C-alpha cells in the first residue's frame, strides 16, 4: 500500500489528509478557535464523586467539568479482580477520591456536545520513539510492529532503557532506530515529567501544568514513519517546521517531505475536498446503485444499507448478499473518513443464509484492520444488526464542520 500525507495550512485552520493508494482514507481538521486539548495536563479539583457509576467530575478550569472513571484513576498496571460474572471489578471510587481533593489529570478525549472532556490520572508523555508513563512498570512495544524478531529485539531494548518507577512503550519509529536516540528522548521526557511534578506543588487550582504536542508535531509523529511514501505540504513555514522536527528526530525521513507548488488547491487536486463533501452527507451512493444512510444520536451512530436504484432479476438473497458485501467495504471507509466513534450499529439488508451473514461480517472485519484507531466488530444480532465500536480520539468530522462548513 502506498501511503501519502497531505498537510494544508490556511491561516485559521490546519487540515491533514491521509491517502492510501491515492484514495483519501482519513481527514483531520484543527481550528485555531477550537484547538484539541488532548494531551494537556491540569491540576484539578474533585467536584463530585459518583459511586453508583464509579466515576468523578473534576474541575480543570473549563466550561464543563471533566469526567474521570475509576478505570482511569488506578495505575496502568493494576490487575483488576475477576468476579464470578467474568467482568473486571475495581476498588470503590469513594475510597480513592473525595470531594475537594486536588488531582493531576490528562485529557484523553475532547468535550463533545453536552459532555465535558474525559481525563485520566495515568499521565503519559509521548515522544517520537517512546511513550513514558510515570508511576507504573509497564514495558511494551507498539502493536503496529508485527515482525516477531523485531518485537523480541525491541523488548530487550525496552527492558534496558526503562527508567525506575516509570512505564515505557516503544513506538513504531523505534523499529529502525538504535538505542542512543531513544535513550536521549527518554531523558527529555523525564525532564518534562520532573517539571510537571514541580508545577504540581504550588499555584491556584485549577491550572494548566503541561500543554500536549501541537497539531503539527502530533501529525508528523503519528504519520511520518518509515512506511510513508511522502508528506506534501502547501505552506513554506510549515514545511520548514517539519524539516526542523525531523532534523532532531529522524533525519532520514526529510527526503520524503515535499513542498506543494501547484496553483490548483491541493485538496481539490488530490480529490480530498470531494471526499469531505461526501463524508458530510447523510446519504452515500455506492457504485451498484445502492446507498448508505448515516444517522447520529447522542448514544450511537446508525448506518442503514438500502438497495436504492439497483434493479436485479437475480435471486433476492444473492442480490442482498452482493449489496452487503459492497456496503461492508464502503462503511469501513466512511467510518475512517468521518472519524466516527463509540457504538455503531449497521442495518444490513436481510439475508437468510448463515454463510452469507458470516461472510459479510468477516469482510467488514478485514476492512477495519487498516484503521489505526482501535475498532472492534462484535458480530451480527438475531435481528441482522451488526454491532461495532471504535475508540474516540477526537471529534468526528461532522461535529468539527458543523459550526462553519467552508465547503
Is pLDDT of 290 > 50? Answer: yes
Q: Are 82 and 88 in contact (CB under 8 A)?
A: yes
Per residue in 236-283, pLDDT (tens digit) is 988 898 888 777 667 778 899 999 999 899 999 999 999 999 999 999
Q: Which domains does the chain have, with CATH numbers?
A: 41-122 (2.40.50.140), 282-400 (3.40.630)
Q: Give the torsion sign (CA, 214, 215, 220, 223).
A: positive
Per residue in 215-235, pLDDT (tens digit) is 667 777 777 766 789 999 998
The three cell numbers locating residue 401 = 464542520
**Measuring CA to CA, which residue among 104, 4, 114, 121 is closest to residue 60?**
104
Q: Are 292 and 305 in contact (CB under 8 A)?
A: yes
Alpha carbons 58 and 117: distance in angstroms, whole number:
10
Q: Which residue has the cell 461480517?
A: 361
Per residue in 381-402, pLDDT (tens digit) is 888 899 999 998 778 898 888 7
Per residue in 115-136, pLDDT (tens digit) is 899 999 999 998 888 999 998 8
Q: Which residue has the cell 532520514?
A: 252
**Measuring CA to CA, which residue among 191, 203, 200, 201 is closest to residue 166?**
191
Q: Percentage of the chain surpassing pLDDT 70?
A: 91
Q: Are 199 and 42 in contact (CB under 8 A)?
A: no
Is pLDDT of 12 > 70? Answer: no
Counting other chains too, the contacts that 14-19 makes at CB distance below 8 Å and 24 or more residues apart are 14/215, 14/216, 15/267, 16/215, 16/219, 16/223, 17/267, 17/270, 17/272, 18/223, 19/270, 19/272
* Residue 278 pLDDT: 94
Q: Which residue has the cell 499555584?
A: 203
Alpha carbons 348 and 328: distance in angstroms, whole number:
9
* Overall average pLDDT of the 364-373 stretch: 91
Alpha carbons 252 and 177: distance in angstroms, whole number:
11
Lowest mean pLDDT among 138-142, 215-219, 358-362: 215-219
- Pick 112 or 231 by higher pLDDT: 231
Q: Are 377 and 332 in contact (CB under 8 A)?
A: no
* Residue 78 pLDDT: 59
Mapping DSSP onto H, E and C, the string for the chain reads CCEEEEEEEECCEEEEEEEECCEEEEEEEEEHHHCCCCCCEEEEEEEEEEHHHCEEEEECCCCCCEEEEHHHCCCCCCCCEECCCCCEECCCHHHCCCCCCEEEEEEEECCECCECCEEECCCCEECCCEEEEECCCCEEECCCCCCHHHHHHHHHHHHHHCCCCEEEEECHHHHHCCHHHHHHHHHHHHHHHHHHHHHHCCCCCCEEEECCCCHHHHHHHHHCCCCCCEEEECCHHHHHHHHHHHHHHCHHHHHHEEECCCCCCHHHHCCHHHHHHHHCCCEEECCCCCEEEEEECCCEEEEEEECCCCCCCCCHHHHHHHHHHHHHHHHHHHHHHHCCCEEEEEECCCCCCHHHHHHHHHHHHHHHCCCCCCEEEEEECCCCEEEEEECCCCCCHHHHHHCCCCC
Per residue in 304-347, pLDDT (tens digit) is 999 887 666 678 899 999 999 999 999 999 999 999 999 999 99
* Residue 80 pLDDT: 44
Angle, helix 316-338 to helix 272-279, in steps of 10 degrees: 110
Q: Rounded to two decimals, what is the model's pTM?
A: 0.71
* Residue 131 pLDDT: 92
Q: What is the mean pLDDT of the chain?
A: 87
* Residue 76 pLDDT: 67
Per residue in 174-209, pLDDT (tens digit) is 887 788 888 888 998 999 999 999 999 888 999 999
Which residues, including other chains, have CB under 8 Å from residue 262's CB and lie 6 or more apart?
A: 269
Per residue in 75-110, pLDDT (tens digit) is 866 554 444 444 557 889 999 999 999 999 999 988
Instruction: Give the Å distances, CA to CA, from 104 to 45, 47, 281.
Output: 9, 14, 40
Amino acid at each position: 500500500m502506498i501511503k501519502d500525507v497531505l498537510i494544508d495550512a490556511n491561516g485559521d485552520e490546519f487540515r491533514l489528509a491521509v491517502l492510501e493508494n491515492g484514495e483519501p482514507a482519513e481527514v483531520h481538521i484543527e481550528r485555531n478557535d477550537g484547538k484539541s486539548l488532548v494531551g494537556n495536563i491540569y491540576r484539578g479539583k474533585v467536584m463530585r464523586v459518583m459511586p453508583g457509576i464509579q466515576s468523578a467530575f473534576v474541575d480543570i478550569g473549563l466550561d464543563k467539568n471533566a469526567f474521570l472513571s475509576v478505570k482511569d484513576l488506578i495505575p496502568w498496571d493494576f490487575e483488576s479482580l475477576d468476579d464470578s460474572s467474568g467482568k473486571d471489578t475495581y476498588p470503590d471510587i469513594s475510597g480513592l477520591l473525595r470531594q475537594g481533593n486536588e488531582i493531576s489529570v490528562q485529557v484523553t478525549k475532547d468535550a463533545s456536545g453536552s459532555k465535558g472532556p474525559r481525563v485520566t490520572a495515568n499521565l503519559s508523555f509521548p515522544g517520537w520513539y517512546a511513550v513514558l508513563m510515570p508511576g507504573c512498570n509497564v514495558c511494551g512495544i507498539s502493536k503496529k510492529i508485527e515482525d516477531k524478531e523485531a518485537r523480541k529485539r525491541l523488548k530487550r531494548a525496552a527492558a534496558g532503557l526503562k527508567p525506575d518507577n516509570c512505564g515505557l512503550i516503544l513506538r513504531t519509529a523505534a523499529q529502525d532506530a538504535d538505542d542512543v536516540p531513544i535513550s536521549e528522548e527518554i531523558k527529555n521526557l523525564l525532564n518534562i515529567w520532573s517539571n510537571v511534578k514541580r508545577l504540581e506543588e504550588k499555584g491556584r487550582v485549577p491550572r494548566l501544568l503541561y500543554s500536549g504536542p501541537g497539531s503539527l508535531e502530533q501529525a508528523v509523529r503519528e504519520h511520518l514513519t518509515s512506511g510513508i511514501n511522502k508528506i506534501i505540504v502547501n505552506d513554506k513555514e510549515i514545511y520548514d517546521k517539519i524539516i526542523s522536527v525531523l532534523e532532531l528526530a529522524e533525519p532520514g525521513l526529510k527526503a520524503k517531505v515535499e513542498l506543494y507548488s501547484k496553483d490548483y488547491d491541493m485538496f481539490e487536486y488530490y480529490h480530498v475536498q470531494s471526499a469531505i463533501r461526501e463524508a458530510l452527507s447523510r446519504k452515500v451512493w455506492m457504485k451498484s446503485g445502492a446507498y448508505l444512510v448515516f444517522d447520529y444520536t447522542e448514544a450511537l451512530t446508525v448506518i442503514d444499507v438500502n438497495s436504492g436504484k439497483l434493479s436485479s432479476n437475480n435471486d433476492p438473497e444473492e442480490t442482498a448478499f452482493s449489496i452487503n458485501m459492497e456496503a461492508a467495504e464502503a462503511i469501513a471507509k466512511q467510518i475512517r473518513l468521518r472519524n466516527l466513534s463509540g457504538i455503531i450499529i449497521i442495518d444490513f439488508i436481510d439475508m437468510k443464509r448463515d454463510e452469507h451473514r458470516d461472510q459479510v461480517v468477516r469482510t467488514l472485519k478485514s476492512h477495519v484492520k487498516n484503521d489505526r484507531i482501535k475498532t472492534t466488530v462484535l458480530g451480527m444480532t438475531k435481528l441482522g444488526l451488526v454491532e461495532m465500536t471504535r475508540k474516540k480520539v477526537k471529534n468526528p468530522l461532522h461535529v468539527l464542520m458543523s459550526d462553519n462548513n467552508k465547503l
